[in-house]
Amino acid sequence: MDKQRLAEIAQAIVQPGKGILAADESGGTIKKRFDTIGVASTEESRRAYRDLLFSTEGAEAYISGGILFDETIRQSSHQDTPFVRLLADKGILPGIKVDKGAKPLAGFAGEKITEGLDGLRERMAEYRELGAKFAKWRAVITIGDEIPTRFCLEANARALARYAALCQEAGIVPIVEPEVLMDGRHDISRCRAVTAETLQRVYDALFEHCVYLEGTLLKPNMVISGQDCPQQASAEQVAEATVSCFRQVVPAAVPGIVFLSGGQSSEQATENLNAMNAMGTHPWELSFSYGRALQAHALQAWQGKSDNIAAAQRAFYHRAKCNGAARAGTYSRAMEETAA
């Protein structure tokens, strides 16, 4: 393990003003996205859409890394440039999603365990040869009546730690993603308690598996109200709850936290990240690793038509720019009005 190299890659991903484009949707997920605009999900339509995003001129000013799906890391642009090289030439580090998805946890109703550890060592070696510099593994934690259970939290934490250790063995930076879902009526205080317990168990497991924290990144949920909670927390409340929670359980050795957007709207995800960075300096860089929150407007603008590529790229560039500003706490709603 080249610890210095791992740390350098992690730091490059969370450099000031930049964050990650998560373009690693599985076949099922991207089909749902394409269904909203009436576009069939085929290998070619998926390739064309990713090409649109990756080739957006100037986006590299705000995007430091791109997470790809297994299919995507093997594809090329319409000009026959491999996507990995297209990104690298723009200074964007290519990454890869390596888990096989969250499946029902046998014996524990309503809870899930992420699969994909079998054969991971061999797959990591292949992905490294294909050019991946970092990877991602997502665990899913649901809040409900008497869940999450301790067993679910520990099982997912151990899987995340085994994945992270295998990544570092292969010279690839692991992004550790334990997502406490927004689904439910729980309030922000319940989300904070579950998030703190989840992260505590994750970092205990990472320590036990001898994972080099300086060569990792954390991709968590924000501490936020449940989607169906009658009392929705403000951006300032989310920022305070998230930062104070993380200060208690996330080691300062971690270079950066790249938040997922979850079920938030594009603008809400930007506002919440901005509010955190506006609080001042933190032990870690607070960045973004957004999928839908970076892509939703671009997807609607595209509609699967080549004539709309320029409009879709403008929409993607704008969201990247807004989140780049949120990295410094300088985003404002005026940026949205200017774009409109």
Phi/psi at 215 (nearest 5 deg)? -110, 30
Answering whether pTM is above 0.85, one says yes
Tens-level pLDDT at each residue, the chain (340 residues): 899 999 999 999 999 999 999 999 999 999 999 999 999 999 999 999 999 999 999 999 999 999 999 999 999 999 999 999 999 999 999 999 999 999 999 999 999 999 999 999 999 999 999 999 999 999 999 999 999 999 999 999 999 999 999 999 999 999 999 999 999 999 999 999 999 999 999 999 999 999 999 999 999 999 999 999 999 999 999 999 999 999 999 999 999 999 999 889 999 999 999 999 999 999 999 999 999 999 999 999 999 999 999 999 999 999 999 999 999 999 999 999 876 5
Residue 135 · residue 175 · CB < 8 Å: yes
Looking at residue 128, its amino acid is R
pLDDT at res. 199: 98
Q: Which residue out of 111, 219, 271, 285 is catalytically annotated? A: 219
> Residues with Cβ < 8 Å from 313, sequence gap 6 or more?
52, 53, 55, 56, 57, 298
pLDDT, position 107: 97
For residue 148, whether the previous peptide bond is cis, meaning omega lies within 30 degrees of 0, is: yes
Query: What is the four-CA torsion angle of 195, 291, 3, 248, rounded to 10 degrees?
Result: -20
DSSP 36-76: TTT----HHHHHHHHHHHHT-TTGGGTEEEEEE-HHHHT-B
Active site residue 177: yes
Residue identified by tokens 């790229």 is 313
- Nearest Cα to 139, choosing from 63, 223, 213, 201? 201
Report the distance separating Cα 243 and Cα 281, nearest Å.
11
- Rounded-to-integer distance, Cα 254 and Cα 164, Å: 13
**Cα–Cα distance measured from residue 189 to residue 191, given in angstroms and rounded to the nearest whole number:** 5
Tell me if 258 sits within 8 A of 217, measured CB to CB. Answer: yes
Predicted confidence at residue 340, as pLDDT, reads 55
Helices marked H in the chain: 3-13, 27-35, 43-54, 70-73, 83-89, 120-130, 150-169, 188-208, 235-249, 266-277, 292-302, 309-326, 334-339
11, burial (CB in 10 Å: exposed 0-12, middle 13-18, buried 19+): middle
For residue 326 the two structure tokens come to: 């949120």
**For 190-226, what is the HEC assignment?**
HHHHHHHHHHHHHHHHHHHCCCCHHHCEECCCCCCCC
Q: Can you list the domains of the chain with their CATH numbers?
A: 3-339 (3.20.20.70)
For residues 20 and 205, what is the distance between their CA atoms, to the nearest angstrom?
25
